[in-house]
Amino acid sequence: MEHTNEMQLIFDSRSSNESFARVTVAAFMTSLNPTVEEVSDVKTAVSEAVTNAIIHGYENEIHNIHIRARTEGRTLYLEIEDEGKGIEDVKQAMEPLFTTKPELDRSGMGFSFMEAFMDSLEVMSAPGKGTTVKMEKTIGKGRRLWTTQSL
């Protein structure tokens, strides 16, 4: 079970593709045998990152969003990339409640959600070049005891 499995998805930055991206990542991670809640955590994180790429990265123009996903052992590795506007100050952007688009009713909690629902979050960005969000989540943590029992 320690083999890696990889996929890459490229799609148009339309908000109607958000659920498509979510389902694709969710379907990809099924081999890790997640619970509904673990899948839902990952979906939330994917939604937030994809929404950011659409709204902030490309400011609603239609360009490509890339998702790279890998499973290795019990861990899902995710990268969500746009080649859009980029972020001036990543540290500030990641602060809870910080948003550059308050007029759109953005909550400024996107990065905080990604951080809360995944095990790790890393944001790489360069103004004018684009943004890559890297996340990891290990599936079945704290389930080890009963997994051993039931096998």
Ligand X SMILES: Nc1ncnc2c1ncn2[C@@H]1O[C@H](COP(=O)(O)OP(=O)(O)O)[C@@H](O)[C@H]1O
HSE at residue 97, side-chain half, CA atoms within 13 A, is 0
Q: 106, 115, 136, 143: which is the annotated catalytic residue?
A: 106
Alpha-carbon distance 72 to 32, whole Å?
9
Buried b (16+ CB within 10 A) or exposed e, 88-100: eeeeebbeeebbe
Of the residues 22, 43, 56, 137, which one makes contact with ligand X according to CB under 6 A: 56
Whichever of 8 and 33 has its CB closer to other proteins, that residue is: 33
The catalytically annotated residue of 18, 38, 48, 81 is 48
List the one residue from 13, 47, 71, 131 that touches ligand X (CB under 6 A): 131
Q: Which stretch binds other proteins (CB under 8 A): 31-39, 64-72, 74-82, 123-131?
A: 31-39
Catalytic site residue 52?
Answer: yes
Minimum Å distance from CB 115 to a copy of itself?
27
CA R_g for the chain: 16
- Which option in ligand X, other proteins, a copy of itself, none does residue 108 bind, with CB closer than 5 to 8 A by kind? ligand X
Whole-number Å distance between alpha carbons of 127 and 87: 5
The answer to the question of residue 19 lying near other proteins (CB under 8 A) is yes
Catalytic site residue 106? Answer: yes
| Nearest Cα to Cα of residue 81 among 32, 11, 146, 140 | 11
Choose, by CB under 6 A, the member of 38, 110, 117, 137 that binds ligand X: 110
111: its two tokens = 């990065």
